[in-house]
Structure 1
Amino acid sequence: MTNRHDSTAEPPPGPGEPPAVPLEFAAFCELHRPRYLSYARVWLPDQTEAAGAVQQAFAEIAVHWRELLGSSNPTAHAWQILRGTVSDHTRQAGPPARPHHPADDDLAILHYVVGLAAPEIADVIGTDTASVAGRLRRTMLREASGW
């Protein structure tokens, strides 16, 4: 009897070859990389540094991938890793071009600067659309009260 699972399995990586990336992790990266990069470019205007920060965040996410998948909200945990990595790169780059913003201000950045709608933001940060819409309203009201 032939085991069809063995016939379609890929061989293990050879010496010097990178290990195979889980399909779900590759899909996660494909989905989130453009949005993560757009966010990083707001904080790190140098495109190479922004791309490096996103790559570093994905490397950290990869290290914790199985653990993240077992959590209640993998996307939210991955977003926190990205935020932390970008923040670290911002501090290393010297005096920030803009002051560090709280998490709700990041939503405003994703909406007004990156151009994402509330459902897309919810998808990126791992929350629901209603929460994003409410937090965006609060941020806008807080900013308007300072005018």
Structure 2
Amino acid sequence: MPPNRFRTGRLTSSAVDPVIADLGFAAFAERNRPRYTLYAGARLSTGAHSSAAVEATLASAREGWQRLMSGPCPAAEVWGQLRLQVERQGERVAAQNPVLAELYQRLPHASADSVVLCRLLGLPVAEAAELMGVEPSAVEAALTAARRALPQLGDTEAPLRHL
């Protein structure tokens, strides 16, 4: 007789079936890789560097997928890793976009990321929030803070041309 995996309606083991974990990661990667690549491409000057950042991020996520799934918000943790990988690749790139470099110098990362995702890449607030692992209201607040800190961002006809 197999061991009873249920006790008062809860699984007694915190381990996730490896096949299910692999499928979960594959779905996560398939959904997010294109958007991660857009973000990395906007921040870095070459496709090779943006691809390297995305692949390093997804490799790290795959390696720690079980741990990520037991945390409060896997998307937020992976987004933080992507930002870190983009910054690392950016250190290797001589010709970064100077407007975006200034944006990240003048704003908190969450605000700068929200501006890049929503204003530069044109993602809806809800999609940017999902990607970053935050609530849409956090993205709205970050965009508002960015507009206050950099009033020229309010010009929707010329987003991010000049800070």
Deviation of 1:145 after TM superposition, in Å, equals 7.5
Take 1:131 and 1:50, find their aligned partners in 2: how far apart are those partners? 26
Matches within 5 A, 1:45-124: 45-94=45-94, 96-98=96-98, 99=101, 101=104, 102-103=108-109, 104-124=111-131
What 5-or-longer segments of structure 1 have no aligned partner?
Answer: 1-19
- Give, as a single letter, the amino acid of the residue that structure 1 aligns with 2:78: A
Gaps of 5+ in 2: 1-18, 154-162
> Which residue in the other structure is 2:156 paired with?
none
Percent identity, aligned pairs only, is: 27
Deviation at 1:60, TM superposition (A): 1.0
Q: CA RMSD in A?
A: 2.2
Contact residue 25 and residue 62 of structure 2 kept, 8 A: yes
Structure 2 length as normaliser, TM-score? 0.72
Q: How far apart, in 1, do the equivalents of 2:60 and 2:24 lie?
A: 16
> Number of matched residues?
129
Using the size of structure 1 for normalisation, the TM-score is 0.80
Q: Which residue of 1 aligns with 2:150?
A: 143
Question: Is the CA contact 2:45–2:95 (under 8 Å) kept in the aligned structure 1?
Answer: no
CA–CA separation in structure 2 for the residues paired with 1:58 and 1:39: 14
Please state how far the C-alpha of 1:89 moved relative to its aligned partner.
0.3
Following the alignment from structure 2 to structure 1, what is the Cα–Cα distance between the partners of residues 124 and 144?
13
